[in-house]
Amino acid sequence: MLNKSLALGFALVTSVSFAQTLTTNTGTPVGDNQNSKTIGNNGQVLLEDIHLIEKLAAFDRERIPERVVHARGAGAFGEFVASADFSDVTMADFLSQAGKKTPLMVRFSTVTHQQGSPETYRDPRGFAVKFYTQEGNYDLVGNNLPVFFIRDAIKFPDMVHAFKPSPIMNNASDPNRVFDFFSNLPESTHMLTWLFSDYGIPANYRQMEGNGVHAYKWVNENGEVTYVKYKWVPQQEIKNLTQEEANKIQSTAIEHATVDLYTEIAKGNFPKWDLYVQMLKAEDFDKLDFNPVDVTKIWPEAVAKSVKVGTMTLNENATNYFQQVEQAAFSPGTLVPGIEPSEDKLLQGRLFSYFDTQRHRIGGNFQQVDVNRPINNVKTYNQDGYMSMRKQEGDINYQPSTNQPEVVDNAKFKYSKSVFPAGTTTVQAKIDKENNFAQAGELFRSFSKKDQDNLIKNLGGALNAVQNKVIVKKMIAHFYQADKTYGERLLKATNLKVSDIQEYIKK
């Protein structure tokens, strides 16, 4: 009876047109549900956008264990051979010399529909490539179509909700919901034009193009940045299906593309794709009538000519679908030195969301699964968690440590700098006004004599238990710089002298 009353109440409410205020899960009103918070109009998205993070995190946890998107997929293994040396524009190791070979894994997929759905649906196709390079894994995650529906990740959960089955209509998809959403988003016009052409139904995975969709940054050893877009062009004939052809295939098979890929590779008919990039410099952006990092736009050839960078060959089928394809985990944030994300607002959100959904779907150690594991040595103090399989040994599980070889910063592997019109610069550097010690000294001086005595007794006792006296000296140098008396009392408690800590005192 209560449910019927509630249903009647909802029916009456929904029949009236009224304005609404969205809130977060904790009831806080949302000021803008369409635009992420960024550094200026074209800068990076800020992690402090709590609404964006909550929205994406909630979205990533909606399905267990199936992927929220790209649930249906097929995969294969192969290699990439670089066409030339591109070290003048990127430090990426796998592009450092002509003929260099890099093993890889590819997962093709449909996007919107669930596992077991027909591969003849009109839908973008995922085209995700995992390069196992000498400097870590690199995931080039894209689609068969060159653009996307939306340009900001804050809209992504809503878009997928609109595509997914109605929550009340017998769990069926409803075009009314899809077009209701896109009717309010003029930015989707370009993508919908692609989708509803024959490109919206590739004939199979072998004969379709691939696109990185987003703009990325290539960075050379001098820190010089070049913006790039990727495109995979099959050496096989590109082939799409009309709706009628798709309907005919669907009447007899729902996994025709998966079967086609597996069968052709098994026969030795190895599919190949040439990888091309288009390049732009940031100083050329203002000359264009569109934002080059807007994911709803392509870069015309007249603006940026395509350059071939290598060829991919798929020559090996998976031997276990679940272990090698279903557990394959991709993220546009899986990058290598020399390749960085652009300020594309959709890409910026995906950097968080894709890692987050894999941790939810497979677990916090998903990179340790064989298909996701790098071929180079992994050195990290991340530890434990479900299905921890990486070898862990020794007492030191933190860094920095005086008991371990010093970790030397390598400027080559630092992120590039981005300068914005307001003069704000993204850097990897210490903060201004570190002032590490002043407030500690103030706190010490604020203590009563008893509190100070107990502090010295407790801290001195703890430091006396430390075997490596260099560590003790470094620590006391910190406290000495906070307050001279504080440091001198700790020196006495540990049987050390001021001269023992002079080299560790900040100049």
Question: Which is the catalytic residue, given 143, 211, 317, 365?
Answer: 143
Contacts of 49 (CB under 8 A, 6+ apart): 36, 37, 154
Give the DSSP letter of residue 75.
E
Domain boundaries, the chain: 38-372, 438-504
Q: b or e along 86-103 (b: 16 or more beta carbons within 10 Å of the residue's beta carbon)? A: beebbbbbbbbeeebebe
CA distance 89 to 373: 27
* The pLDDT of residue 96: 96
Give the DSSP letter of residue 401.
-
User: Has residue 6 got a pLDDT over 60?
Assistant: no
* The pLDDT of residue 230: 98
Give, to the nearest 10 degrees, the angle between helix 484-493 and helix 438-446: 80
CA distance 43 to 423: 12
Instruction: Answer whether 193's CB lies under 8 Å from 247's CB.
Output: no
CA distance 283 to 6: 58
Instruction: Answer whether 270's CB lies under 8 Å from 311's CB.
Output: no
Backbone φ and ψ for 194, nearest 5 degrees, come out as -60, -50
Taking residues 10-32, report their average pLDDT.
64
User: Has residue 3 got a pLDDT over 60?
Assistant: no
Catalytic (active site) residue 376: no
User: Which pLDDT tens digit goes with each residue over 452-490?
Assistant: 998 999 899 989 998 999 999 998 999 999 999 999 999
Weakest-pLDDT range from 98-102, 158-162, 164-168, 340-344: 164-168
Give, to the nearest 10 degrees, the angle between helix 50-60 and helix 345-361: 40
Give percent above pLDDT 70 in the chain: 94
Q: How confident is the model at residue 64 (pLDDT cuts 50, 70, 90)?
A: low
CA distance 95 to 86: 6
354 carries a ligand binding annotation: yes
Catalytic (active site) residue 365: no
**Which residues are 466's β-sheet partners?**
none
* The pLDDT of residue 83: 98
CA distance 132 to 80: 10
Taking residues 422-444, report their average pLDDT.
78
CA distance 334 to 132: 11
CA distance 387 to 260: 34
User: Has residue 136 got a pLDDT over 70?
Assistant: yes
pTM for this prediction? 0.83
Homologous superfamily (CATH) for 38-372: Catalase core domain (2.40.180.10)
- Greatest mean pLDDT among 264-268, 372-376, 456-460: 264-268
* The pLDDT of residue 117: 84
* The pLDDT of residue 420: 72
* The pLDDT of residue 403: 85
